[in-house]
Amino acid sequence: MGTKRGSAAVVGPGEVEAPPVRRARGARMAVLLGPEQGVPSFITRRFLLSPGAYIPRHRHPTIEHEQVMVRGEMVIDLDGEERTVRAGDAIYIPAGCAHSYANRGATEVEFLCVVPVTTDYATEWLEEPPDGAAPA
C-alpha cells in the first residue's frame, strides 16, 4: 500500500467518460476510482461491451485482474479455456494468464475490473485486432 490516501468520493455513472478500448471492437472502459481520487493500491474500472464486441487475446505479465459481471453474458477465454460468465459471477485472471472477451449475445455486457496501481502496466497482444477495432 502506498502513502497516498485521497479524499472520500462518490462517483456517479454519468460522471466518467468511457472511451473505446484500443485494439478492441465494441468495447468501452471507464475508470471509476483511480488517480483522480488518489487511490493508493488498486484501480476500479467499468467495461461496457456492445453485442458483437470482442477484446482480442492478450496477457499482462505482471498485473492481475479481479472482475465481477454486473449485466449480460459473455464468453471469456482463460489460457485457452472458454467460460460463459453472467451477472453475479466473479473472475480472477492472474498475471501472465492469456485472456479475451466476446459478447455473443444481444444485450450489452457490463463488468467491473480491478487492477493494481503500478508504473508497469505491460500488455502482450496475442491476436491481431478484429474487424472494426478501435485504433491501437
Interface contacts to its own copies, rule CB under 8 A: 1, 5-13, 32-33, 37-42, 44, 46, 62, 64, 66, 68, 70, 76, 78-79, 81, 83, 85, 88-97, 99, 112, 114, 116, 118
* Beta carbon nearer to its own copies, 43 or 133: 43
* Beta carbon nearer to its own copies, 50 or 62: 62
At residue 54, the 3 state secondary structure works out as: strand
* Beta carbon nearer to its own copies, 52 or 77: 77
Q: Specify burial of residue 69 (Cβ count, 10 A radius: 0-12, 13-18, 19+).
A: buried
The CA-to-CA distance between both ends of the chain, in Å, stands at: 32
Work out how close the CB of 58 gets to its own copies at its nearest, in angstroms, rounded to a whole number. Answer: 14
State how far the alpha carbon of 23 is from the alpha carbons of 10, 84, 91, 118, 127, in Å.
31, 22, 22, 22, 10
* Beta carbon nearer to its own copies, 37 or 103: 37
Work out how close the CB of 28 gets to its own copies at its nearest, in angstroms, rounded to a whole number. Answer: 15
Work out how close the CB of 18 gets to its own copies at its nearest, in angstroms, rounded to a whole number. Answer: 12
Work out how close the CB of 20 gets to its own copies at its nearest, in angstroms, rounded to a whole number. Answer: 20
Distance CA(45)–CA(112), nearest Å, equals 6
Strand duo 124-125 + 42-59: pairing:
antiparallel
